Amino acid sequence: MSEIQVSVIIVNYNTKDLTIAAVRSVFEKTKDIVFEIIVVDNASTDGSLQAFEKEFGEKIKLIKSAKNLGFGGGNNLGIKTSKGGFVFLLNSDTILINNAIYILYEFIKQNPQAGVCGGNLYNKDGKPTYAFCKNTLRENESALVKIFKSLKQRLTGKMTNFFNYSDKTMEVDGIIGADMMIRKSVLDAAGLFDEDFFLYLEESELTARIKKSGFLSYCIPQAEIVHLEGASFKTPQDIERKARAYAYSSFLYYEKVYGKEAVKKHYKERLRFIGLICLFSLGLLNKECSKRKRIIQEEYAKWTKDRK
């Protein structure tokens, strides 16, 4: 058997149908490369294990975690057992449109300065969605600047800080965790995911460490993938858990990348941002703003307690 070039890693938690669709798309679209697929199950309770074994058998490597380790922890399990010189981290709620894995592999292999790369992402309707971060999560960006960026995006109809509209490779601050091709030797230098993060921004913190190690991140627009973002969050309770997880992770991110003082400034800017949104909406979003403010305050209090 030829040497494995890329290890495709998918973390599953109660998303068996989405994961099956993602794995099928990898088998259907991936050509001209030797790869393995590793599915890490985070202690699902929806019959995922049985479904995967029935559908794929020995065509995939199935890792069974005794507990839910979150996105980073699950990927770490997969990375540690991977055999490829490169790992491709793929969300369970994605579907490859073209031979994206090969395209990303060829780019990163031929560009030694590249530590991470990803493709352009599209929603279920085929419209551009968040593919990378550019000039975001910078230290202490003001709430007013964020408002102007959001307005510019809505007026132009283009998410230029999150999607590559050109046909050229673009250097970016970080790749969205839905699809990350990473050189294994880079992970040896920078380390794996920080498991203090359970969900959200763990890829941004890892990318920051990779950049400190001397490597860059790129978006390759020729690689195209559908990202059904939010498909695993269906109920109002799920949506609130998502908001809480993101808020808490943002505090962790600023702490680890910029220091604890930056967290305090970020917290104040988040509250200021919500206040401006409420003001500009002429009170129409008062209820939602109050809810978001409460979540941020409670998660900040939790972070303060946890990180003493």
For 217, 236, 293, the CA distances from 262, given in Å and listed in that order, are 24, 31, 19
Q: Which residue has the tokens 């964020």?
A: 146
Contact 29, 110 (CB under 8 A): no
How far is 49 from 19, CA to CA, in rounded Å? 11
Q: Return the pLDDT at 220.
A: 98
Q: Return the pLDDT at 202.
A: 95
Contact 26, 96 (CB under 8 A): yes
Q: Return the pLDDT at 134.
A: 74
The values of phi and psi at residue 12, to 5°, are: -115, 135
Burial 204-238 (b: 16+ CB within 10 A, else e): bbbbbbbbeeebbbbbbbbbbbbbbbeebbeeeee
The domain 6-227 belongs to what CATH superfamily? Spore Coat Polysaccharide Biosynthesis Protein SpsA; Chain A (3.90.550.10)
Residue 283 burial (10 A CB sphere; 0-12, 13-18, 19+): exposed
Domain parsing of the chain, residue ranges: 6-227, 236-306
Q: What is the pLDDT of residues 208-230, one digit of tens each?
A: 999 999 999 999 999 999 999 76
Q: Return the pLDDT at 304.
A: 95
Q: Return the pLDDT at 2.
A: 76
Per-residue pLDDT, averaged over 81-92, amounts to 97
How far is 219 from 298, CA to CA, in rounded Å? 35
